């Protein structure tokens, strides 16, 4: 067995030999394939997803919302207890019934004015006959001119009263019809508001997220669930503003889900949104996944590497051998060599000018 002293000596000897071995390692530019990748993080999303929102406020008195359940378009998902909408509908129905009665032939107001019109018409006809009689008598010099003129004035007055009542009838009928139209509109609006008590799906899909349960209070505009098409899955990632200029539609992407980091899923850039997202301080890109997922969960976090450039047979050197200003230390040269770079990957840099495959590289001086 080794003593503590001998073990310490062996360990120091091992370190010295390792250092010598590493220091003697020769690093030269190599001709290999290189691929430039832009890193992005994001999550799984389902296309055609939409928020199911409450159109009124109240308590959920029933709910058929369950995650993973497929629903048809127009299917009832939940019911909100908002009694004010029901009361408004009942009042609007009563108001419309009254408005319909006011324009009917049995309307009390119209019947009364019709009776007044008939009386005014009879009065006018009597006054008209009386005026004709006085005109004949005056022609026969059997009455005075004043009596004749009074009879004619009575005729004109009764005629004006008759015409006024007919105009009044038309005005009341028009007002009643206008009120009928308004009442119909109010009833329709109240019925629409009553329908807001019912939360329905807009289109067929699967409930992928549930936010409210039976008995919960919901406010108008509040999201109660998310429905999407599970058959159309995409990845949504955030790309740094320094790298977004390199990303274009159609580029290959390597995706790894946080739930299964050992599996690489192939995809392509399907869309690059033009606006800068202030919340994430990045640009949003959508990835179409080419490989099927064994299991997917809405919102699963992921990492993506976007292939923004690739080259076969490129002259490359390790990235950690390139210093500030693209300067590289070369054995036998007193000054660092400035190289022209091409594709830059996570570990390597393509050299376009400045080095050959025979050059021996030295580490960057810290």
User: Radius of gyration of the chain from Cα atoms?
Assistant: 45
Q: What backbone phi and psi angles, to 5 degrees, belong to 108? A: -55, -40
- Residue 345: what pLDDT? 84
Opening angle at CA 264, ends 45 and 303, nearest 5? 50
CA distance 63 to 76: 9
Copy the structure tokens of residue 316.
Answer: 């490359």
CA distance 89 to 193: 8
Per the CB < 8 A criterion, the answer to whether 7 and 334 are in contact is: no
Polymer length of the chain: 366
- Please give the span between the terminal C-alpha atoms of the chain, in angstroms, as a whole number: 42
Tell me the C-alpha to C-alpha distance, in Å, between residue 8 and each of 1, 2, 22.
13, 10, 21
Q: CA torsion angle for 39, 43, 46, 49 (degrees, to 10)?
A: -120
- Residue 24: what pLDDT? 53
Count of H-run helices and E-run strands, the chain: 4, 19
Tell me the DSSP string of 46-92. Answer: ETT-EEEE-SS-EEEEEE---TT-EE-TT-EEEEEE-HHHHHHHHHH
Quick: pLDDT tens for 249-284: 999 999 999 988 888 999 999 999 999 999 889 999
Largest CA distance in the chain: 166
User: Of 205, 273, 264, which Cα lies nearest the Cα of 237?
Assistant: 273
Copy the structure tokens of residue 13.
Answer: 């000897």
Q: Where are the beta strands (DSSP E) in the chain?
A: 30-46, 50-53, 58-63, 70-71, 76-81, 198-200, 205-210, 217-218, 223-228, 233-239, 252-257, 260-277, 282-289, 301-318, 327-330, 337-338, 340-344, 348-353, 361-362
Per the CB < 8 A criterion, the answer to whether 92 and 187 are in contact is: yes
Regarding pTM above 0.85, the answer is: no
Candidates 3.40.50.300, 2.40.30.170, 3.90.1300.10, 3.10.180.10; CATH matching 27-47+232-366: 2.40.30.170
Q: What backbone phi and psi angles, to 5 degrees, belong to 330? A: -120, 135
Interstrand relation of 50-53 and 223-228 (parallel, antiparallel or unpaired): antiparallel
Copy the structure tokens of residue 329.
Answer: 């230390």
CA distance 86 to 93: 11
Q: What backbone phi and psi angles, to 5 degrees, belong to 73? A: -65, 130
Per the CB < 8 A criterion, the answer to whether 39 and 303 are in contact is: yes
Query: To 10 degrees, what angle do helices 145-195 and 83-103 make?
Result: 150
DSSP state of 359: P
pLDDT in tens, the chain (366 residues): 444 333 333 333 333 333 333 445 789 999 999 988 999 999 988 878 889 999 888 898 889 899 888 999 999 999 888 776 667 777 778 787 877 787 787 888 888 888 999 999 999 999 999 999 999 999 998 889 999 999 999 999 999 999 999 999 888 888 888 888 888 888 787 777 677 888 999 888 888 889 999 999 999 999 999 998 877 788 999 999 999 999 999 999 999 999 888 889 999 999 999 999 998 899 999 999 987 776 666 788 999 999 998 889 999 999 999 999 999 999 989 899 999 998 888 789 999 999 999 999 999 886
Topology annotation, domain 50-80+200-226: OB fold (Dihydrolipoamide Acetyltransferase, E2P) (2.40.50)
Copy the structure tokens of residue 307.
Answer: 């292939």
Query: To 10 degrees, what angle do helices 145-195 and 108-139 make?
Result: 170
CA distance 97 to 106: 13
- Residue 85: what pLDDT? 65
Domain definitions of the chain by residue range: 27-47+232-366, 50-80+200-226, 84-195
């Amino acid at each position: 067995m080794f003593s503590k002293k001998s073990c310490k000596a062996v360990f120091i000897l091992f370190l010295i030999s390792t250092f010598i071995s590493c220091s003697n390692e020769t690093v030269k530019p190599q001709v290999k394939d290189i691929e430039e990748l832009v890193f992005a993080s994001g999550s799984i999303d389902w296309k055609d997803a939409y928020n199911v929102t409450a159109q009124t406020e109240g308590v959920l008195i029933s709910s058929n919302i369950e995650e993973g359940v497929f629903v048809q378009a127009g299917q009832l998902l939940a019911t909100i207890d908002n009694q004010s909408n029901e009361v408004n509908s009942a009042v609007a129905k009563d108001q419309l019934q009254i408005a319909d009665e006011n324009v009917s032939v049995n309307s009390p107001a119209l019947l009364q004015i019709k009776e007044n019109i008939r009386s005014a018409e009879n009065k006018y006809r009597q006054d008209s006959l009386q005026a004709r009689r006085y005109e004949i008598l005056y022609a026969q010099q059997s009455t005075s001119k004043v009596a004749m003129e009074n009879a004619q004035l009575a005729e004109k007055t009764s005629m004006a009263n008759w015409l006024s009542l007919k105009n009044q009838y038309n005005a009341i009928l028009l007002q009643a019809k206008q009120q009928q139209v308004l009442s119909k509109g109010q009833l329709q609006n109240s019925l629409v508001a009553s329908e807001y008590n019912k939360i329905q799906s807009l289109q067929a899909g699967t409930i992928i997220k549930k936010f409210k349960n039976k008995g919960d209070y919901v406010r108008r505009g509040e999201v109660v669930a998310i429905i999407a098409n599970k058959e159309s899955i995409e990845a949504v990632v955030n790309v740094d503003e320094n790298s977004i200029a390199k990303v274009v539609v159609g580029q290959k992407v390597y995706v790894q889900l946080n739930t299964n980091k050992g599996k690489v899923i192939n995809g392509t850039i399907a869309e690059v949104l033009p606006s800068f997202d202030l919340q994430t301080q990045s640009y949003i890109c959508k990835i179409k996944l080419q490989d099927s997922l064994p299991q997917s969960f809405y919102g699963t976090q992921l990492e993506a590497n976007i292939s923004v450039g690739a080259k076969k047979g490129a002259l490359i050197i390790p990235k950690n051998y390139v210093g500030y200003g693209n300067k590289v230390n070369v054995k036998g040269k007193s000054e660092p060599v400035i190289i022209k770079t091409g594709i830059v990957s996570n570990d390597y840099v393509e050299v376009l000018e400045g080095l050959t495959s025979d050059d021996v590289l030295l580490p960057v001086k810290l």
